[in-house]
Structure 1
Amino acid sequence: MSMRRTTIKDVAEAAGVGVATVSRVLSGGSASPETRERVLTVATQLDYRPSALGRNLRQRRSGGIGLLVPDVTDSFYGRLADGVLACARSAGEPVILGATGDDPEREAEMVGMLLEQGVDRMIAIPSGSGEIWEPTLRTGLTAVFAHRVPAGRGDVPAVLADDRAGVRTAVDYLTGLGHRRIAYLGGPGQEQRVAAFRETLGPLVDEELLVFARGSRDSAYAAAAGLLQHRPDLTAVLAGGNLLGEAAVLAARELDLRVPRDLSLIMFDDVPWAELCAPPLTVIAQPAQDIGYRAAELVLRGGARRPRGVLLPTELVVRGSCAPRGTSRSPR
């Protein structure tokens, strides 16, 4: 009976480093001499043969598209994945799906595993860390980012919604209703949205009203509840995603704040439950399925000539979760 082949994760655990570090060392990237020696020694001892990061990478690939999303249960990412699958199916390409949890270490682990499985191309909604992508892209892998771009990786084609226009439209709508104390509830990889929020509000920006959560429901709820408890003077919230919007709705309900009488709320992502809320939520709609489809088109077209990125429009869908400032709660 054949023994299980050593993986990049085995090497990382034995060397006491992350998968991203092993990937970087094996592909000739930067690392301290001590770390490099330890990783190479462990790789030799475990007889590790990197099927994806070695010299014969191109010959070993078996095709297919790797797709990395933060959360397969999130309806926005589900619709984006559906777009990727639809395009891949028409091209006869299999798709291997992985969930990163917006955790850079787990993302690095998933990238390593997909490379070891001989994946030809990769579409990723990155966690925000650009560190792991340098050695990965050096292998010659065709990659496209969707929905966001990690720091320092503007050289990789990406399919994005026009976040800046979406934020500007939402903030202009709220200020037009008379709101001045507007909070932003954000999550991983939302640097563009935060920058647009600051620019649009200008001198009205209150840095204490910019609150960030990690990529989990518990963290989102804690951030939303803390914001609403500690700043009773705020009158409106812009939530940077549907998980954050859900947290804001739940926290407001727990604190007996009525939307929109006490608090106006706008959320990124037009997910099905947004219209079923009481009142229905005003949202910045993003074309999730189209983002996935266009990302798959780009990655399938990839080759010697790098394809250009794509910027897709957003739309402010006005419903019942916002009201003029005069009907909102007074500062305490």
Structure 2
Amino acid sequence: MERRATIKDVAEAAGVGVATVSRVLSGGSASPRTRERVLAVAAQLDYRPSALGRNLRQRRTGGMGLLVPDLTDTFYGQLAEGVLACARSAGEPVVLGSTGGDPEQEAELIGMLLEQSVDRLIAVPSGDAETWTPAFRAGMTVVFADHLPAQALPEDDPAASAANDLMLLDGLSPAAAPPSRSLDVPAVVADDRGGIRTAVRYLRGLGHKRIAFLGGPGQERRVAAFRAAVGPPVDEELVVFGTGSRDSAYAAASGLFQSRPDLTAVVAGGNVLGEAAVLAARELDLRVPRDVSLVMYDDVPWAELCAPPLTVIAQPGRDMGYRAAELVLRAGTRRPRSVVLPTELIVRGSCGPRR
């Protein structure tokens, strides 16, 4: 039996990304030349999306998908455990995929899930709103976890309202966040503002004034919360980012410590970033907390095994996954509302008074 052409085959033959093919075939934005090339290649390869794309609204196939950026990340593992526990209690199978934090790979996985007739999806998004448009046009039910997909837009653009609504739910003024465009989709997130604010206040109480933030992809709300917590004027040299990989996180942490030896405390936006900060400090002979205090977003088992144990902003990863699965399972009965879960500052030994 001849193998059926996939969306990836079309993308490779047309010399474009999977996300571009998905946009063209779903009627999204693309240049006339790109649209013509993609449609010609799709016809030549006899590419036919599954029947799901045509009639998903008339039938439910059961089962749900779960997409996360990195299965080796402890937090995403906890989130997956929550999704699987809820799905198991409901008798629902789960198709699990890792996007690697790559929007193109995410778009490909979305296309594969549609072809496999998976009509409900929980995702920690890597791509922007356009990446997700084909899923909605096909009728897929989606609930986002941890954060929403976004793309830059002017502040007065009405398409930014969904992200602003979520910021307000979180207690954070939209003016404190970067302008963004997000799909009007329910999400289950942690109280980033409360967690970051509590951590900064704690460090300030210890006498720290030059506090840095080490961030990564999808952490726009945490960055906005940090800027709001430290207050103007924000020293932008103390706000640095990695691209998501462990190597990038280490490079960002090491560069921060070397470029700003005057900093006295760091808030790491996730456990991969916290791990990088610990390793970079050790390589540079910086003593924690004598030379630099460290707070990490996410409580993971190894945090207590560090010397000294890390002070953390704990978020309920397993509960986040469970609640997201509950929302996607009952989406057919009523439109679910976004949920903000509480965070907790757990004080251990990685923070000390500024000497």
TM over 0.5: yes
The correspondence for 1:219, drawn from 248, 252, 255, is 248
Alignment of 1:24-35 (within 5 A): 24-35=23-34
Tell me the equivalent position of 2:268.
Answer: 239
The one-letter amino acid of 1:129's match is D
The one-letter amino acid of 2:260's match is R
SS in 2 for 1:291: helix
- CA distance in 1 between counterparts of 2:235 and 2:28 reads 41
Unpaired segments of 5 or more residues in structure 2?
Answer: 151-180
The one-letter amino acid of 1:105's match is E
SS in 1 for 2:319: helix
Unpaired segments of 5 or more residues in structure 1?
Answer: 327-332
Tell me the equivalent position of 2:35.
Answer: 36
Change (3 A) 1:128 1:5: closer
Pairwise CA distance, 1:283: 0.1
- CA distance in 2 between counterparts of 1:23 and 1:123 reads 19
Tell me the equivalent position of 1:299.
Answer: 328
| Identical aligned residues as a percent | 79
**Over aligned residue pairs, what C-alpha RMSD do you find?**
1.3
SS in 1 for 2:38: helix
1:284-314 deviations in Å (ceiling 9; x for gaps): 0000000000000000111263210110000
- CA distance in 2 between counterparts of 1:176 and 1:205 reads 18
Asked whether the equivalents of residues 130 and 153 of structure 1 are also in contact (C-alpha less than 8 Å), the reply is: yes
User: Structure 1 residue 210 and structure 2 residue 239: aligned?
Assistant: yes
Tell me the equivalent position of 1:137.
Answer: 136
Tell me the equivalent position of 1:187.
Answer: 216
Pairwise CA distance, 1:138: 1.6
Pairwise CA distance, 1:171: 0.6
1:81-137 deviations in Å (ceiling 9; x for gaps): 000000001111110111111111111111111111110100000115222012221
1:49-98 deviations in Å (ceiling 9; x for gaps): 10166423446763311100011111110010000000001111110111
Change (3 A) 1:139 1:304: farther
Alignment of 1:248-259 (within 5 A): 248-259=277-288
User: Structure 1 residue 90 and structure 2 residue 89: aligned?
Assistant: yes
Alignment of 1:1-332 (within 5 A): 2-51=1-50, 54-58=53-57, 62-151=61-150, 152-203=181-232, 205-303=234-332, 305-326=334-355
Tell me the equivalent position of 2:169.
Answer: none
Asked whether the equivalents of residues 148 and 182 of structure 2 are also in contact (C-alpha less than 8 Å), the reply is: yes
1:206-254 deviations in Å (ceiling 9; x for gaps): 1001010011110000000010011100000000000000000000000
Pairwise CA distance, 1:169: 0.5
Asked whether the equivalents of residues 213 and 223 of structure 1 are also in contact (C-alpha less than 8 Å), the reply is: yes
SS in 2 for 1:10: helix
Number of residues paired by the alignment?
Answer: 325
SS in 2 for 1:132: helix
The one-letter amino acid of 2:208's match is H
TM-score by length of 2: 0.89
SS in 2 for 1:149: coil
- CA distance in 2 between counterparts of 1:154 and 1:163 reads 20
The one-letter amino acid of 1:189's match is G
